[in-house]
Amino acid sequence: METRIKTTDYQLVPEAQSYLDERLAMIEKLLDTNDGAARVDVELGRDMGHKSGNVYFAEINLLVDGRSLRATSHGASVNAAIDEAKDEIMEQLRKRKSLHRRVLRRGGAAFKRIMQFGGGE
C-alpha cells in the first residue's frame, strides 16, 4: 500500500507519525489487495478560522481497485481527528466488503436454482 502524507499548518512529529502508521495498518488489514495496488493519501493539519483553541483535521483518501473512498474529520487533537477518519474509512470498507459478499452469494444461489430445476437441460 502506497502512502502519501501532506501537512497543512502543522509540523508532523514522530509520535503523530507512528500513531498514523498504526492506524493505517488497521485499514490495510481490511484490504483484499495482495499486489499492494492501494494508495492512501492523508492530509493532516490545523484548521484555521477558529476563535478558541486549536482544531485539527484529518482527511484520508483511499484508492483501491479503481474506487475512491474518502473520510474527513475534525478534532481537538491530531490523534482524535485521525481516529475519527480511520473509523469512517473502515466502516466504508466493511460496507463495501459485505456488499460484494452479498452479491456473490445471490449469484451462487441463482446458479444453484438453475442447476437444480434443470434450467440447462
- Residue 15 falls within a domain, yes or no? yes
State the residue for C-alpha cell 442447476: 115
4 against 117, higher pLDDT: 4
pLDDT surpassing 90 at residue 8? no
pLDDT in tens, 41-69: 999 998 877 767 788 999 999 998 788 99
- Residue 115 falls within a domain, yes or no? no
C-alpha cell at 54: 486549536
Residue 33: φ, ψ to 5°: -90, 120
Provide the pLDDT for residue 33: 62
- Residue 31 falls within a domain, yes or no? yes
- Residue 107 falls within a domain, yes or no? no
Provide the pLDDT for residue 48: 79
Any idea what the CATH number is for the domain that residue 22 is in? 3.30.160.100
31 against 87, higher pLDDT: 87
- Residue 60 falls within a domain, yes or no? yes
Provide the pLDDT for residue 57: 92
What is the rounded average pLDDT for all residues in the chain? 84
Domain that holds residue 39: 2-89
pTM: 0.74
- Residue 104 falls within a domain, yes or no? no
- Residue 118 falls within a domain, yes or no? no
Residue from 84, 10, 70, 76 nearest 39 by CA? 70
Domains in the chain, number: 1
- Residue 120 falls within a domain, yes or no? no
